[in-house]
Amino acid sequence: MEICVVGTGYVGLSCGVCFAKLGNRVTCVDIDENKIEMLKQGEVPIYEPEVKELLDMHSGKNLFFTTGLVEPVKKSNVVFIAVGTPSSEDGSVNLEYVKAAAADIGKAIDGYKVIVNKSTVPVGTGEIVESIISKHYKGEFDIVSNPEFLREGTAVSDFLKPDRIVIGCSSKRAMNIMKRLYSTIKAPILFTDIKSAELIKYASNAFLATKISFINEIANLCDIVGGNINSVADGMGLDKRIGREFLNAGIGFGGSCFPKDVKALISIARENGFDFRILRAVESVNSEQHLRAVEKLQDLVGPVNGKKIALLGLAFKPNTDDTREAPSIRIIEQLISMGAVVSVYDPKAMGAVQAIFENKLQFAENAYKCASGSDALMLITEWEEFKKLDLRKIRNVINKPNIIDGRNIYSRERLEMMGFNYRGVGR
């Protein structure tokens, strides 16, 4: 099939290369000329495993990049809108880019197309997009909501081997086209109405965020009463109704999805006269969770003014360079405000953090240099290389043997035997 993808961020680019892998002819469109030129040269502007390999395999064959929207829209059977939907100051979703894409598509369309909202959008956006396109084009087209469930770091595998495919539409013709488009992917397909499909994405992410905040609160209680959160989570996870996934206690969730989608669902509810109390609590718990790591740091080292604190991990999760809403940013800001000297290292996210803090931080080239001479080491992101660190080498280069394990990846018993002062989360 001929596919046009509008937007080349995490979602648009990941979907584009995956649709090409499935044998479609795909054109990805973006207004950012520098980004398009990078992609044409085989450079990927984001870090996402497997995307570069698929780009190299298909670019120039059945995968193309351009800043011009008109020709790709005219040639395509299906047009995906995969532009950004950032949060406004009040937590509501800013649909500026979605509306602009819809207007441009309406001006370019010259025959029947299926227009698919892939961006995460609030309930009712399908009607907004339909109305905008109809102002410019009076012929036939159908609107579909096809939310993405791609996790940063595993976007390609999530696309090709999904738990489910959700398609919201009211047209039999559009339904058949979407069936054909996904026919080679083995996964349950849920066909529903557009508004339900729009809500499914928010409900899914909000539920997972709730699960994380819940286990973090149980971990905080474990710290007080002396329980072990790993045992508690294992015991809960053995119940098939609960499951073990997303029950890993830590310093809170971040990224481009969970914080934004929780805010958006609270806003959607508020705009419709409903107070989503559970999600307000989820948001509150998450906003405070990183503070507990700093409190544990102070318990070990006392006042941090003038002391060197090493942070391992800056991305909000492993296998991405994304630092949006990352706990590391909030922790760094707090440590700087308290007068600490902060050293940082991350395998992929150093550039993003350097752009934010510039010369306010010490940027190390590896974990050992980051820890060298520090009064405490804080593990923020559970990158695989951090799980494999030579902890004896860390013990030798660190000034004071204090470790705050914000993701519970180390053995407390082993570290204490090596002479470390250890603080985990709920352990």
Residues that are catalytic: 257
Order of all β-strands in the sheet with 421-423: 362-363, 341-345, 308-312, 376-379, 402-405, 421-423
Query: Can you say how many angstroms the Cα of residue 21 is from the centroid of all Cα atoms in its chain?
Result: 23
Q: How many CB atoms lie within 10 A of CB 148?
A: 22
| Of the candidates 2, 60, 54, 64, the residue with the CA atom closest to the CA atom of residue 29 | 64
Amino acid at 254: G
- In b/e form, how buried is each residue of 36-71, taking b as 16+ CB within 10 angstroms? beebeeeebebbbebbeebbeebbeebbbbbeebee
| Of the candidates 94, 102, 143, 100, the residue with the CA atom closest to the CA atom of residue 120 | 94
Separation CA 85–CA 97 (nearest Å): 7
Task: Give CA separation, 8 vs 32, 75, 118, 163, 213, in Å.
Answer: 9, 19, 12, 24, 31
Task: Give just the sign of the alpha carbon dihedral 57, 61, 65, 70.
Answer: negative
**Cβ(321)–Cβ(283) below 8 Å:** no
Q: How many CB atoms lie within 10 A of CB 34?
A: 9
